[in-house]
Amino acid sequence: MELVTSLLKKNENKILLVVLDGLGDLPCKDGKTPLELANTPNLDKLVKESATGRHIPVEFGITPGSGPGHLGIFGYEPKKYTIGRGVLEALGVGLELKETDVAIRGNFATVEYKNGEVVVIDRRAGRIPTEENKKLIAYLSEHIKKIDDAEVILHSGMEHRFVVVFRFPYPVSEEVETINDTDPQVVGKSPLEPVGKGEFAEKVAKIAKKFVEKVAELLKDNKPANYALLRGFSVKPKMPTFEEKYGLKSACIATYPMYKGLASLVGMELIKFEGATIKDEIETLKKVWKDFDFVFLHIKKTDSYGEDGNYEAKVKIIEEFDSYLPELLSLKPAVLCITGDHSTPCKMKSHSWHPVPVLIKSPYVLGGLSERFTEREVIKGELGMFYAIHLMPMLLAHAGRLKKFGA
Amino acid sequence: MELVTSLLKKNENKILLVVLDGLGDLPCKDGKTPLELANTPNLDKLVKESATGRHIPVEFGITPGSGPGHLGIFGYEPKKYTIGRGVLEALGVGLELKETDVAIRGNFATVEYKNGEVVVIDRRAGRIPTEENKKLIAYLSEHIKKIDDAEVILHSGMEHRFVVVFRFPYPVSEEVETINDTDPQVVGKSPLEPVGKGEFAEKVAKIAKKFVEKVAELLKDNKPANYALLRGFSVKPKMPTFEEKYGLKSACIATYPMYKGLASLVGMELIKFEGATIKDEIETLKKVWKDFDFVFLHIKKTDSYGEDGNYEAKVKIIEEFDSYLPELLSLKPAVLCITGDHSTPCKMKSHSWHPVPVLIKSPYVLGGLSERFTEREVIKGELGMFYAIHLMPMLLAHAGRLKKFGA
């Protein structure tokens, strides 16, 4: 058993983990980062009585995807637990995956048939409306129920995205993760044929090929979505739940499928709610707060604006979050942690490897070391720079949920 | 062989390691920690020409007991080398443990016999005086010499505490560490029966049961100590000595059994002396300084006052230590290191996971980075934040006792 798990003790102290996705940034204007540019009176006050520092999501110089980024802050070694895109998407749309399932991310695409060749002309079928997607999935589900010994389960995602699960009558093997994506990544080329290494992977690749052929046949007269590209063949990784690992009854409040998927993978309860604003999320938090030991609240737009390179919008969303901070504090969490899953610098328009600011509010901190909650100020803080996987043990410690190790 | 051991070279440079137990703290008054509140003119001067930083005793968020705390600063991975309480106590009272010994911590207790049930009414027998304890142990030793094939060795500790060693005619197994404590932890309950997993552990558990029965019989008319509770069944861990690992002839100056026990476990010579003040310890140090390469000087009271939540007394003991600093420096150690084994924040009245200030005085430091030797100031220092197990290699390096690695 892991050291932390062996030292758990129960109490009533609640932990609130707020993840502002892609929070960390680089100078955008006048040498200042969005956190430095933002007007954040509430964070400014909070930071003075909090422990501060930075986490390294995976490893020095390594830029994490959303999966490794979140697994790290959840305390699961992201170099050990890898999550395929298919699994993430499946969990995100609410499919409960079993040990017998292979999950794949599908994209509706537009192809042309030239001299017997299939040529991709739009990898996203013009980002068809989600409603159109739902109709297509209903139609396909009716006509493709089983291929060889795999039950076929389809689920719509947003726009052109969908999930396909091949459910076998026996447990599946991780070797399916050797199967290549069929998406050629550029238009004007043919989709790739799925090929896997190992007996089971070969079998799944054949089923995938038949699936694509059936979709192409069923949608041949449809426009613009007349084809399916497959990505991220994967199986659910074997990992302990949050409850098993930390003894925490935990919930996730998030708006995007991927983050819900990640939370559900570690066994967090996904809280359903209407709306997608920070306000909606915080109202939801207030409702469920009493029912859980640990709540993971995910705010997406800091990352989205980072990806867009829109620092002004990133500043605004930080300010919006700041305005709700008093409401979070009014819940009196024993431990409040505010951080990101990785950095998404506006000038890079992508995730990056840069360490991510962390703030921990608890009675058991030194505090008084950072003037503001910014990339530069948190460097002065007491938490130093640490791997993300050490965050959860620290939150448990600050919540008084770990016994002493050894006599 | 470990890297450090493979690079050792001999010289005359002496290392003095001062451990102020439970040194690290949190704000106690006016937002200041005891180190910040204390008037420490000598440390203030020393810190400016020293390397500073913080060590993490075991792992982020993990609160160490005294065993793991000291093993870490001695450079023994505390997650690998675990020391049972029985072994610690046995070593602390000066018993030399062998490969054939099972060591157990005993507490004299008071029980009542109600309807054939044994009920604990005082787990510490009113903390009987140590003198009374010695008489009881002498009496028990006379009447319990052997149980089955185990020789029984008894030794008094302080107040209600004692040590029992079962010495077998053959090497013992670590499986005895599966045996539960018999202390029910609360009064009004019956003592627990010792149960172990594995053949040898079962055998030891049976001997322990017989031992408890004999003690109860022998002390049945004694008051208030009429029973024995047993804790921490353990065997001496297999580990290299300080001399083998670091090539250092080393000594320990400490007043409390547990710390002497820890030092003896790694093969340090325990220096006997009268008295228990810092002055007594430093007088002792002066006498033996020329005879050793390395001296570990342990000051207990910083921890005791932390455990009591008495920050004023903790401040005073820090000031007392500061007043003796010139005497330590007059010995001209090639390397002087001042640190703690863990933090014991007064507001928590317990050990904690917080990183511990470290100071290294040597001609080979940058210096000039911390204004004072305090939790907040050492964050700015050149040593950064590091796992405690890296301390000893750094002290050896500063003492010129490590060769270059590689060509």
In angstroms, the CA A257 to CA A263 distance is 10
For B275-309, b/e burial (b = at least 16 CB within 10 A) is eeebeebbbbbeeebeebbbbbbbbbbbbbbbbeb
Q: State the smallest CA–CA distance between residue A163 and chain B in angstroms.
A: 39
The whole-number pLDDT of residue A407 equals 76
The domain total for chain A is 2
Q: Is the pLDDT of residue B243 over 80?
A: yes
Q: Looking at the structure, do residues B172 and B314 belong to the same domain, yes or no?
A: no
pTM of the model: 0.88
Is A405 within a domain?
Answer: no
- Report the percentage of chain B scoring pLDDT > 70: 100
Q: Which of B290, B243, B200 is nearest to B14 (CA)?
A: B290
Q: Looking at the structure, do residues B247 and B385 belong to the same domain, yes or no?
A: yes
Query: Cβ separation of A390 and B59 shorter than 8 Å?
Result: yes
* Structural domain for B94, as ranges: 88-234
Comparing CB atoms, the residue among A382, A403, A407 nearest residue B88 is: A407
Q: Looking at the structure, do residues A372 and A247 belong to the same domain, yes or no?
A: yes
The whole-number pLDDT of residue A95 equals 87
Comparing CB atoms, the residue among B59, B67, B345 nearest residue A393 is: B59
Q: Which of A67, A390, A297, A287 is nearest to B59 (CA)?
A: A390
In angstroms, the CA A340 to CA A298 distance is 9
Kindly state the tokens that stand for A199: 């007996």
Q: Which of A272, A275, A315, A317 is nearest to A299 (CA)?
A: A317
Structure letter (DSSP) for residue A116: T
Q: State the smallest CA–CA distance between residue B274 and chain A in angstroms.
A: 27
Q: Which of B360, B396, B361 is nearest to B246 (CA)?
A: B396
Q: Looking at the structure, do residues B41 and B166 belong to the same domain, yes or no?
A: no
In angstroms, the CA A246 to CA A265 distance is 15
Q: Looking at the structure, do residues A280 and A211 belong to the same domain, yes or no?
A: no
Q: Which residues of A touch B348 (CB under 8 A)?
A: 364
The whole-number pLDDT of residue A286 equals 98
What's the CATH number where A220 sits?
Answer: 3.30.70
The whole-number pLDDT of residue A370 equals 98
Structure letter (DSSP) for residue B45: H
Nearest CA in chain A to B27: A366
Is B385 within a domain?
Answer: yes
The whole-number pLDDT of residue B261 equals 86
The whole-number pLDDT of residue B258 equals 83
Q: Which of A234, A261, A283 is the last residue of a domain?
A: A234
- Report the percentage of chain B scoring pLDDT > 90: 92
Query: Cβ separation of A366 and B84 shorter than 8 Å?
Result: no
Nearest CA in chain B to A381: B379
The stretch B293-312 carries a mean pLDDT of 97
Q: Is the pLDDT of residue B256 over 90?
A: no
The dihedral formed by the CA atoms of A236, A178, A62 and B61, expressed in degrees to the nearest 10: 30
In angstroms, the CA A41 to CA A321 distance is 11
Q: Looking at the structure, do residues A141 and A252 belong to the same domain, yes or no?
A: no
Residues of A with CB under 8 A from a CB of B: 3-4, 7, 363-369, 380-382, 384, 386, 390, 392-398, 402-407
Query: Cβ separation of B85 and A407 shorter than 8 Å?
Result: yes
Q: Looking at the structure, do residues A146 and A287 belong to the same domain, yes or no?
A: no
B355 residue type, one letter: P
Cα B62 from chain centre: 17
Nearest CA in chain A to B234: A407
B299 - beta bridge partners?
Answer: B20
The stretch B347-365 carries a mean pLDDT of 98
- Altogether, the residues listed in chain B come to a count of 407
Comparing CB atoms, the residue among B60, B348, B379 nearest residue A382 is: B379
Residue-wise pLDDT for B215-226, tens only, equals 999 999 999 999
Query: Cβ separation of A366 and B33 shorter than 8 Å?
Result: yes
In angstroms, the CA A228 to CA A118 distance is 12
The whole-number pLDDT of residue A92 equals 78
Query: Cβ separation of B62 and A369 shorter than 8 Å?
Result: no
Q: Looking at the structure, do residues B153 and B229 belong to the same domain, yes or no?
A: yes
- How many other C-beta atoms lie within 10 A of the C-beta of residue A170? 9
The whole-number pLDDT of residue B155 equals 97
Q: Looking at the structure, do residues B103 and B198 belong to the same domain, yes or no?
A: yes
Cis (ω within 30 of 0) for the bond into B224? yes
Query: Cβ separation of A405 and B58 shorter than 8 Å?
Result: yes
Q: Which residues of B touch A406 (CB under 8 A)?
A: 64-68, 78, 82-83
Q: Is the pLDDT of residue B228 over 80?
A: yes
- How many other C-beta atoms lie within 10 A of the C-beta of residue A378? 29
Q: Looking at the structure, do residues B116 and B253 belong to the same domain, yes or no?
A: no
B276 residue type, one letter: A
Q: Which residues of A touch B350 (CB under 8 A)?
A: 404
Test mutation, A380, A387, A404, chain B, max B CBs within 10 A:
A404
- B65, exposed or middle or buried, with CB in 10 Å at 0-12, 13-18, 19+? buried
Is A291 within a domain?
Answer: yes
What's the CATH number where B274 sits?
Answer: 3.40.720.10
Is A65 within a domain?
Answer: yes
Q: Which of B183, B210, B234 is the last residue of a domain?
A: B234
In angstroms, the CA A293 to CA A289 distance is 8
Contacts of A112 by beta carbon, 8 Å cutoff, 6+ apart: A118, A119, A121
Q: Grade residue B88 by pLDDT with cuts at 50, 70 and 90.
A: confident
Q: Which residues of A touch B385 (CB under 8 A)?
A: 384
Q: Grade residue B407 by pLDDT with cuts at 50, 70 and 90.
A: confident
Is A143 within a domain?
Answer: yes
Nearest CA in chain B to A3: B79
Query: Cβ separation of B85 and A365 shorter than 8 Å?
Result: no
Test mutation, B35, B54, B62, B387, chain A, max A CBs within 10 A:
B62
Do the interacting molecules here have an ipTM over 0.90?
Answer: no
Greatest CA span in chain A, whole angstroms?
A: 77
Strands (E), B57-183: 101-114, 117-122, 146-147, 150-156, 161-167
The whole-number pLDDT of residue A284 equals 98
Q: Looking at the structure, do residues B337 and B264 belong to the same domain, yes or no?
A: yes
Is B270 within a domain?
Answer: yes
Comparing CB atoms, the residue among A3, A393, A395 nearest residue B79 is: A3
Comparing CB atoms, the residue among B63, B375, B385 nearest residue A404 is: B63
Helix (H, G, I), strand (E, B) or coil at A370: coil
Q: Which of A234, A250, A285 is the last residue of a domain?
A: A234
Q: State the smallest CA–CA distance between residue A397 and chain B in angstroms.
A: 5
Kindly state the tokens that stand for B371: 């204004």
Is A305 within a domain?
Answer: yes
Q: Is the pLDDT of residue B304 over 80?
A: yes
407 residues of chain A, pLDDT tens digit each: 799 999 999 999 999 999 999 999 999 999 999 999 999 999 999 999 999 999 999 999 999 998 999 999 999 999 999 888 899 889 878 788 889 999 999 999 999 999 989 999 999 999 999 999 999 999 999 999 999 999 999 999 989 999 999 999 999 999 999 999 999 999 999 999 999 999 999 999 999 999 999 999 999 999 999 999 999 999 999 899 999 999 999 999 999 888 998 998 899 999 999 999 999 999 999 999 999 999 999 999 999 999 999 999 999 999 999 999 999 999 999 999 999 999 999 999 999 999 999 999 999 999 999 999 999 999 999 999 999 999 999 999 999 999 999 87
Comparing CB atoms, the residue among B60, B348, B379 nearest residue A390 is: B60
Is A407 within a domain?
Answer: no
Q: State the smallest CA–CA distance between residue B9 and chain A in angstroms.
A: 33
Q: Is the pLDDT of residue B358 over 90?
A: yes
In angstroms, the CA B253 to CA B261 distance is 11
Residue-wise pLDDT for B325-350, tens only, equals 999 999 999 999 999 999 999 999 99
Q: Looking at the structure, do residues B97 and B220 belong to the same domain, yes or no?
A: yes
Kindly state the tokens that stand for A333: 């969490």
Average pLDDT value over all residues in chain B? 96
Query: Cβ separation of A4 and B61 shorter than 8 Å?
Result: yes
The stretch B33-42 carries a mean pLDDT of 98
